[in-house]
């Protein structure tokens, strides 16, 4: 299993209070990573962390809004305080209104960009100093087929997910000096894996997604 060997590592997953983020948190914890469950919904984050602890894993629930720099810095600081290091960042949190270009309000546009795009940059900016100091790390972004297809009813979300792909392209240069360089140093899950995620989500089962991340080289 590609996820073997995570014993002693620490992963931060945003939006892990439910859905794909929660499934990812469980899978990483099962591979013996310590997991920081970051979510704007604290009770959902605590629920995920308690469920991981109930199966013998180690998890920390952190309430944070990915669109706020102070929250992101605080989430990373809390993770380092609890577990001593950050090896993996998975930017998963998202939010989207089903609105076309004429219906989308300015506030909705700003909120989608803050959660789906700016948040990934803020988290990368907060973890990269720790990863660069350690000489290793992995950052994974969950994008979507919306990055490639301009679905009319998702104007802001389409745009944010496309931006996320390019954020990957621009940030990964910071990781070229890692002592253990890897093609997976800055991953962006799009669009094939995201399509599969969509299928497993509509079946109310995260099993398919769990099987995808099980094959990933975190």
Ligand X SMILES: NC(=O)c1ccc[n+]([C@@H]2O[C@H](COP(=O)([O-])OP(=O)(O)OC[C@H]3O[C@@H](n4cnc5c(N)ncnc54)[C@H](O)[C@@H]3O)[C@@H](O)[C@H]2O)c1
- Is 87 a binding residue for ligand X by CB under 6 A? The answer is no
Q: Which residues, in sequence order, are bridge partners of residue 91?
A: 141
At residue 187, what are phi and psi to the nearest 5 degrees? -95, 155
Q: Which residues, in sequence order, are bridge partners of residue 138?
A: 88
Beta-carbon-side half-sphere exposure of residue 57 (alpha carbons within 13 Å) = 27
Among 30, 35, 95, 128, binds ligand X (CB under 6 A): 95
Residues 6+ positions from 58 with CB-CB distance below 8 Å: 29, 34, 35, 52, 83
- Is 89 a binding residue for ligand X by CB under 6 A? The answer is no
- Is 9 a binding residue for ligand X by CB under 6 A? The answer is no
Catalytic residue check, 157: yes
Q: Which span (40-48, 130-138, 170-178, 180-188) binds ligand X, by CB under 6 A?
A: 40-48
Among 13, 49, 52, 197, binds ligand X (CB under 6 A): 197
- Is 198 a binding residue for ligand X by CB under 6 A? The answer is yes
Token output for 35:
């997991």
Per-residue contact string for residues 158-187; x = within reach of ligand X by CB under 6 A: ------------------------------
Instruction: For ligand X, give the closer residue by CB, 70 or 134.
Output: 70
In eight-state DSSP terms, residue 128 is H
**Min separation Cβ 146 and ligand X, Å:** 7
Place of tokens 């991981």: 52
CA distances from 67 to 134, 136, 148, 203, 209 (A): 26, 25, 23, 29, 25
- Is 131 a binding residue for ligand X by CB under 6 A? The answer is no
Q: Which residues bind ligand X (CB under 6 A)?
A: 14-15, 17-21, 39-41, 44, 65-67, 92-95, 115, 142, 144, 194, 197-198, 201
Q: List residues with catalytic annotation.
A: 157
């Amino acid at each position: 299993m590609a996820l073997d060997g995570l014993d002693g590592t620490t992963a931060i997953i945003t939006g892990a209070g439910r859905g794909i983020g929660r499934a990812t948190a469980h899978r990483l914890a099962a591979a013996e990573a310590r997991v920081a469950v970051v979510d704007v919904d604290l009770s959902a984050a605590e629920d995920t962390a308690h469920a991981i602890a109930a199966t013998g894993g180690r998890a920390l629930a952190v309430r944070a809004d990915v669109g706020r720099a102070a929250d992101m810095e605080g989430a990373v600081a809390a993770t380092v305080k609890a577990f001593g290091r950050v090896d993996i960042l998975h930017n998963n949190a998202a939010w989207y209104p089903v609105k076309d270009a004429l219906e989308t309000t300015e506030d909705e546009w700003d909120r989608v960009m803050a959660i789906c795009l700016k948040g990934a940059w803020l988290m990368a900016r907060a973890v990269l100093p720790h990863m660069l100091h350690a000489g290793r790390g992995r950052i994974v972004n969950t994008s979507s087929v919306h990055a490639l297809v301009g679905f009319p009813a998702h104007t802001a979300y389409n745009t944010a997910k496309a931006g996320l792909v390019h954020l990957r392209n621009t940030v990964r240069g910071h990781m070229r000096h890692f002592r253990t360089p890897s093609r997976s140093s800055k991953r962006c899950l799009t669009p094939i894996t995201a399509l599969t995620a969509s299928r497993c989500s509509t079946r109310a089962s995260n099993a398919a997604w769990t099987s995808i991340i099980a094959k990933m080289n975190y």
